[in-house]
């Protein structure tokens, strides 16, 4: 059986994690910059009709979920959830096959 903690595997996992974190911070920076520009445009050109909060809200939810996923704060669809779901599905398939044999 292959050892999953070989130096190359750990390096690749760490590199992937750094790329995920970097992607989140890029998303966050874009979110802040673009929404400040939208706020400026909205308040300067149509201050009587405030619309800047719609992209702020929806994109903000996306950034929130992205951050929760990257920093492993999102219990649903995390690695442990995946392992449990795979085991559950394999057990169901096994019991279904045993039932018909």
Same domain, 52 and 80: no
Q: What's the CA gap between 8 and 42, in Å, rounded?
A: 50
Same domain, 13 and 46: yes
In this structure, the answer to whether residues 96 and 54 fall within a common structural domain is no
CA triple 49-51-57, angle to 5 deg: 150
| 92 and 46 part of one domain | no
Instruction: Tally the C-alpha atoms within 13 A of residue 37's C-alpha that lie toward its C-beta.
Output: 6
Residue 38 and residue 11 share a domain: yes
The number of distinct structural domains making up the chain is: 2
Q: Do 61 and 98 share a domain, yes or no? A: no
User: Quick one: 44 and 65 in the same domain?
Assistant: yes
pLDDT value of residue 43: 96
Whether residues 81 and 63 share a domain: the answer is no
Which pLDDT tens digit goes with each residue over 6-53? 778 889 989 999 999 999 999 999 999 999 999 999 999 999 999 999
- 54 and 29, same structural domain? yes
Q: Which of 48, 55, 65 lies closest to 32 in space, CA to CA?
A: 55
Q: Choose among 18, 29, 33: nearest CA to 70.
A: 18
Rg (CA), the chain: 22
40 shares a domain with 7: yes
- Work out the pLDDT band at 75, boundaries 50, 70, 90: low
Domain span holding position 19:
1-70
**Cβ within 8 Å of residue 74, ≥6 positions away:** 65, 68
pLDDT digits (tens, 9 = 90+) for 61-72: 999 999 998 988
């Amino acid at each position: 059986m292959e050892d999953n903690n070989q130096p190359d595997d750990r390096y690749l996992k760490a590199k992937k994690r750094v790329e995920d974190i970097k992607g989140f911070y890029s998303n966050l920076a874009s979110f802040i910059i673009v929404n400040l520009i939208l706020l400026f445009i909205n308040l300067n050109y149509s201050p009587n009709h405030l619309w800047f909060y719609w992209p702020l809200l929806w994109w903000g939810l996306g950034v929130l979920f992205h951050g929760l996923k990257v920093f492993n704060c999102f219990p649903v669809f995390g690695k442990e959830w995946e392992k449990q779901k795979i085991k559950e599905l394999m057990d169901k398939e096994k019991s279904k096959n045993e039932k018909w044999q």
